[in-house]
Amino acid sequence: MAGPLLQVLIRLKHNKSHRIQIAARYRIIDLIEQLARDLHLTVDQLLHIAIYRHGPNGCSLLYPFNNTHYDVLDKYGLTSNEELHIDLTDLILDEEEEEDDDNNNLSSIKPPEESSTTNKNLSKFGQLIRYSVPSDNNCLFSSIYFVLHSGKLDVSSSKYLRNLVATKIESDQITYSEAILGRTNSDYCKWIRCGKRNIYFFFICKTFFFFVSIDDSWGGGIELAILTQEYQIEICVINTESGGRIDYFGEDKHFPYRVFLLYNNLHYDPGKQILFLF
């Protein structure tokens, strides 16, 4: 195949990975179609996979992140000492659960020897990549949306997530009592929905009135506990100012997925766990 070649590492199992070479002139959709043929999957199953570029400077998300599957790989300026990493562990496991034992579509892949909750244990070859979201007091909600949507940032999502939390609190006034919330249930719901406090400035010597509305209800443990239940995910909050202390939300529920947030006592950022097995 003419033109430069790119290295692609495909993680299929906890203990099995595979490398292929593709032409740099391939589009992302061409790579996805080749994987679908080789693994007896459908293109639709692979359209939402995450593709990372890995090199001397670490890992970064290549797709999906402000691009489409019709982009040509060559446009990203990948060098000879970089390669693409794709983790299909969860997808392969889901496929095998739906097939009979005698189905040989994936005969070259050994069955896993451990639980399908692949994200529960960090590999010694893993990395946690920190991404940034705006410091607009919606950082917790923006970070949650980011980790749930494969690295997509949508600052407008905070309104939906705030309302989701408030609706849950309103529906259970016994659990979410004034003793837990620090204010009445209705006041807390208004506060978390609007997220605004009003500040008034008066000048005595001149007739002047100034009004500012500031968002100060950024959310915390209560919101995280609700979101972990609503989305059936374990949320790990790493406090970077407390020696890397990790607060776990949903740890006892044995959810199949784990996501990471980083917190410095003022601001939340999303983290992405990258696992590779060589």
- The DSSP-derived string for 4-58 is -EEEEEEEEETTEEEEEEEETT-BHHHHHHHHHHHHT--HHHHTT--EEEEETTE
User: How many residues in the chain?
Assistant: 278
Nearest Cα to Cα of residue 108 among 8, 13, 9, 43: 13
Q: How far is CA 3 from the centre of its chain?
A: 34
Residue 169 neighbours by CB distance under 10 Å: 22
Q: Are 71 and 28 in contact (CB under 8 A)?
A: yes
Q: Which residue has the tokens 């006034």?
A: 173
**Is the preceding omega at residue 270 within 30 degrees of 0, hence cis?**
no
Per-residue pLDDT of the chain (278 residues; tens, 9 = 90+): 456 788 888 877 666 777 888 887 888 888 888 888 888 888 888 877 778 777 776 666 677 655 566 777 777 777 777 888 887 766 655 555 555 444 444 344 343 343 333 444 444 456 788 898 888 889 999 999 888 877 778 888 889 999 999 999 999 999 999 999 999 999 999 999 876 544 444 444 444 444 444 456 778 999 999 999 888 889 999 999 888 899 999 988 888 788 899 999 889 999 987 655 44
d(CA 135, CA 214): 13
d(CA 231, CA 250): 10
The full set of domain ranges for the chain reads: 5-116, 131-274
CATH class label, 131-274: alpha beta
The one-letter amino acid code at 66 reads N
Q: Are 276 and 123 in contact (CB under 8 A)?
A: yes
Residues 6 or more apart whose Cβ sits within 8 Å of residue 238: 128, 244, 245, 246, 260, 261, 262, 263, 271
d(CA 9, CA 85): 5
User: Which pLDDT does position 100 carry in this prediction?
Assistant: 45
User: Which pLDDT does position 180 carry in this prediction?
Assistant: 92
User: Which pLDDT does position 232 carry in this prediction?
Assistant: 83
Identical fold between 5-116 and 131-274? no
Q: Which residues of 86-95 are buried (b: 16+ CB within 10 A; e: fewer)?
A: bbbbebbbeb
User: Which pLDDT does position 216 carry in this prediction?
Assistant: 60
Segment (H or E) for 145: helix 139-148
The one-letter amino acid code at 243 reads G
- Architecture of the domain made up of 5-116: Roll (3.10)
User: Which pLDDT does position 196 carry in this prediction?
Assistant: 53
User: Which pLDDT does position 91 carry in this prediction?
Assistant: 66
- For residue 156, the cross-strand partners are none
pTM of the complete model: 0.51
